[in-house]
């Protein structure tokens, strides 16, 4: 059964600083997604990573995928308060019946302080 | 703006009530999902419909009954719920993985359910 772990689960950082968060998973998969969730809101898609070595950047966030290491990173550059949210990674998993589903990590709550 | 629309946004019901949550998407997606999310937890998959057929049921209690009348609509019928079923219920859709489709899920805003 696929397990997805995020590290850290809580992060408090100052504006302007950089940080990398991690998502690792237990079985082979070729697709990984990052989502953002603001309190009381739904999930917003940030990145879709489809192959080994994939790197995507949007604003102050950059995500990468290493399928051999079963690891994705989300790098935050020069954090701003607006980045405060919970970030989930999700990994595609195929069920025994052949259907596909996403397995989510526990989420990382990010607080960016002025 | 999300292209997956959920109604109602908020629902309060008693344990003997019957209610339904509705979800609609007009992106031509062929897979639709129900997720349940408790506070400070990740979304938990409940059901997946693919091409209007139920393809995944994550051992959800029968008091939750999904229905997919057509490829754009997804309902979740609720009956005899318990207070612990109070949560945010998220609907999502995705294109299938054929061709260049990425399998990315697009989520609705959710229906916040409170069971008294």
Side-chain half-sphere exposure of B95, counting CA atoms within 13 A: 9
Q: Are strands A32-37 and A61-66 parallel, antiparallel or unpaired?
A: unpaired
Interface of B with A in 14-33 (CB under 8 A): none
pLDDT over 90, % of chain B: 75
Q: What would the DSSP string read from start to end of chain A?
A: ---EEEE-SEEEEETT--EEEEEEESS--S-EEEEEE-TTS-EEEEEEE-STT-EEEETTEEEEEETTTTEEEEEE-S--GGG-EEEEEEEEEE-TTS-EEEEE---EEEEEE-
- Please give the angle made by the CA atoms of A10, A15 and A18, to the nearest 5 degrees: 70
Range of weakest confidence among A86-95, B6-15, B35-44, B94-103: B94-103
Contact call for B108 and A42, based on CB within 8 A: yes
Higher-pLDDT residue of B74 and A100 is: B74
Mean per-residue pLDDT, B25-31: 90
**pLDDT tens digits, B64-104:** 999 999 989 999 999 999 999 999 999 999 886 555 556 78
Tell me, what's the pLDDT at B98? 55
Mean per-residue pLDDT, A35-60: 93
Mean per-residue pLDDT, A53-61: 94
Examine the pLDDT at B30 and tell me if it is beyond 60.
yes
Contact call for A92 and B41, based on CB within 8 A: no
**Chain A residues with beta carbon closer than 8 angstroms to that of B102:** 31, 48, 50
- Which residue is closest to A46 within chain B, CA to CA? B104
Contact call for A97 and B108, based on CB within 8 A: no
On average, the pLDDT of chain A sits at 93
- Which residue is closest to A104 within chain B, CA to CA? B42
pLDDT band at B2 (very low <50, low <70, confident <90, very high): low
Side-chain half-sphere exposure of A108, counting CA atoms within 13 A: 27
Interface of A with B in 81-100 (CB under 8 A): 88, 90, 92, 95, 97, 99-100
CA of B104 vs chain A CAs: smallest distance (Å)? 7
Tell me, what's the pLDDT at A29? 85
pLDDT over 70, % of chain B: 92
- Which residue is closest to A92 within chain B, CA to CA? B103
């Amino acid at each position: 059964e696929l397990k997805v772990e995020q590290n850290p689960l809580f992060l408090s950082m100052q504006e302007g600083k950089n940080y990398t968060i991690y998502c690792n998973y237990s079985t082979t998969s070729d697709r990984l997604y990052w989502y953002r969730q603001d309190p009381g809101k739904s999930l917003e898609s940030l990145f879709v990573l489809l192959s080994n070595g994939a790197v995507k950047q949007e604003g102050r966030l950059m995500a990468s995928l290493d399928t051999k290491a079963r690891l994705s990173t989300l790098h935050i550059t020069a954090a701003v308060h607006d980045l405060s949210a919970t970030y989930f990674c999700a990994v595609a998993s195929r069920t025994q019946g052949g259907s596909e589903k996403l397995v989510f990590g526990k989420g990382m709550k990010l607080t960016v302080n002025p | 703006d999300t292209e997956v629309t959920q109604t109602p946004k908020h629902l309060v019901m008693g344990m003997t009530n019957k209610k339904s949550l509705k979800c609609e998407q007009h992106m031509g997606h062929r897979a639709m999902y129900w997720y349940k999310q408790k506070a400070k937890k990740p979304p938990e998959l409940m059901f997946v419909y693919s091409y209007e057929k139920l393809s995944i049921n994550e051992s959800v209690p029968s008091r939750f009954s999904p229905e997919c009348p057509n490829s754009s609509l997804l309902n979740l019928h609720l009956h005899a719920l318990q207070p612990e079923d109070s949560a945010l219920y998220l609907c999502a859709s995705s294109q299938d993985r054929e061709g260049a489709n990425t399998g990315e899920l697009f989520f609705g805003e959710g229906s916040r359910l409170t069971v008294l």
